[in-house]
Amino acid sequence: MPENLDLEQAVRSLSGRPLPGDVGVVQPRDFVHQQPFTFKSGQVIPGFTLRYETYGTLNATRDNAVLICHALSGDHHCAGWHSTEDRKPGWWNNLIGPGKAVDTDRFHVICANVLGGCQGSTGPSSLNPATGTPYGTSFPFVTIHDMVRAQKLLLDHLGVLQLHAVIGGSMGGMQAQLFAIEYPQFVRRVIAMATTARESAQAIAFNEVGRQAIMQDPAWNRGNYSKDGGPRVGLAIARMMAHITYVSDASMDRKFGRRKKDSAHADAYTFEPQFEVEGYLRYQGQSFINRFDANSYLYITRALDQFDLAQAHGSLEAAYAAVEAETLIVGFTSDWLFPPDQNRALALALLRAGKRASYAELDTDLGHDSFLLESEELYTLVRGFLDRGQSYVFDYSI
């Protein structure tokens, strides 16, 4: 989160109003699709709901929409506040708002919780209308492709004729790429950050440890648990580990180093949290289990693992063959989950396929989560890419 969040919050509290540049108090809405939906796996559900938010106004030509796609643990609430008492704004509030890089005075911004998620969209924790109980692991296996198709149905419902841009980081970047592949005439611009065309063995390995932590927790019970129960211990372990992969050695050392939680007990011998970084990680784990469903974690990490554009199309160049959008790929030097090389490879493959593509590599030491954090350099890139009228290839690194 931005470092100055508390200051922002203090200013808001004093004024009782949204900050300048802020979309203000926003309301999530539900798109209810009442027809059967067939997943890539062949499994079918009788219908689904996507919870979403919009900011800004759709123009008369219905082509100023910008779709924001969220990452594994994100949701539809990417900007603004849910009430004037809200402690935190949406997860990309620093990027999205009036006059910001994604300018809600110009663009109609849309963001939906993914299919398979747990923040209001249909997923494993939703009730199966056929049984009246949660789907649990009877929910169909979801893919990035399914997430994208469901969002396209939402955009059709909203009357969007063409996307000015689709923007996402990490898993959101996978969705953004796939949008341009599946709906080439519908997508004019893609911005994909801190992402990949397919996970490495190491990324799969980390996801597998997280899934094992959840599935080996007796409270998982093969996916059948009540809303307040479930494998909270396993999910917290999975989140603690995953969180390490979202940051960097350097950023953890700067933030925590080897500082002890309580200097009075600096030399204590204990298995309780002794170093600040331990307490921080436990907090990350505990706060996650209050907002995320363990089965959704299984489904979405599996979707991440199975995403493989080259395998699906024969090669990455073949995958991109139909793309008509201009693409901006942004990698971050300290991202070791989806490292710069994996991002650069997307832009190269697009260029080889004859597409308009650019790659920018931002020098940060904040790790994978860099795309979420304050960066004037990133804002300038995004603003420039969304603003420009005509196509040309520009490039920072290649």
Piece of the chain touching a second copy by CB under 8 A; list 113-121, 147-155, 185-193, 267-275: 267-275
Give Cα 364 distance to the centre of its chain.
Answer: 19
Piece of the chain touching a second copy by CB under 8 A; list 28-36, 93-101, 155-163, 195-203: 195-203
Piece of the chain touching a second copy by CB under 8 A; list 73-81, 168-176, 278-286, 379-387: 278-286
Residue of 30, 156, 253, 324 interacting with a second copy (CB under 8 A):
253
Q: Provide, rounded to whole angstroms, the least separation between the CB of residue 204 and a second copy.
A: 5
Piece of the chain touching a second copy by CB under 8 A; list 16-24, 27-35, 58-66, 236-244: 236-244
126 is catalytic: no
The answer to whether 145 contacts a second copy (rule: CB under 8 A) is no
Question: Segment 28-87, which members bind a second copy (CB under 8 A)?
Answer: 41
Catalytic pick among 70, 76, 243, 368:
368
CA-nearest of 78, 59, 75 to 162 is 59
Catalytic pick among 73, 126, 170, 358:
170
> Whats the size of the chain, residue-wise?
398
- CB neighbour burial string for 263-274, b if at least 16 within 10 angstroms, e if fewer: eeeeeeeeeebb
Environment class of 86 (CB within 10 Å of its CB; exposed 0-12, middle 13-18, buried 19+)? middle
| Residues binding a second copy: number (CB under 8 A) | 52
125 is catalytic: no
170 is catalytic: yes
Closer residue to a second copy, CB minimum distance, 42 or 159: 42
Q: Provide, rounded to whole angstroms, the least separation between the CB of residue 310 and a second copy.
A: 9
The answer to whether 159 contacts a second copy (rule: CB under 8 A) is no
Residue of 58, 153, 244, 348 interacting with a second copy (CB under 8 A):
244
Residue of 311, 380, 391, 397 interacting with a second copy (CB under 8 A):
311
Answer whether 386's CB lies under 8 Å from 350's CB: no
Piece of the chain touching a second copy by CB under 8 A; list 12-20, 53-61, 67-75, 306-314: 306-314
Residue of 257, 314, 354, 384 interacting with a second copy (CB under 8 A):
257
Give Cα 395 distance to the centre of its chain.
Answer: 25
**Per-residue x/- mask for a second copy, residues 327 to 366, rule CB under 8 A?**
---------x--x---------------------------
CA-nearest of 28, 68, 37 to 169 is 68
Closer residue to a second copy, CB minimum distance, 19 or 252: 252
Closer residue to a second copy, CB minimum distance, 26 or 303: 303
Answer whether 124's CB lies under 8 Å from 295's CB: yes
The answer to whether 206 contacts a second copy (rule: CB under 8 A) is yes
The answer to whether 298 contacts a second copy (rule: CB under 8 A) is yes
Closer residue to a second copy, CB minimum distance, 107 or 225: 225
Catalytic pick among 335, 358, 369, 375:
335
The answer to whether 16 contacts a second copy (rule: CB under 8 A) is no
Residues lying near a second copy in the complex (CB under 8 A): 41, 137, 141, 198-202, 204-206, 208-209, 211-213, 215-216, 218, 233, 236-237, 240-241, 244, 248-249, 252-253, 255-258, 269-271, 273-275, 277-278, 281-282, 285, 298, 302, 305-306, 308, 311, 336, 339
Residues carrying an active site annotation: 170, 335, 368
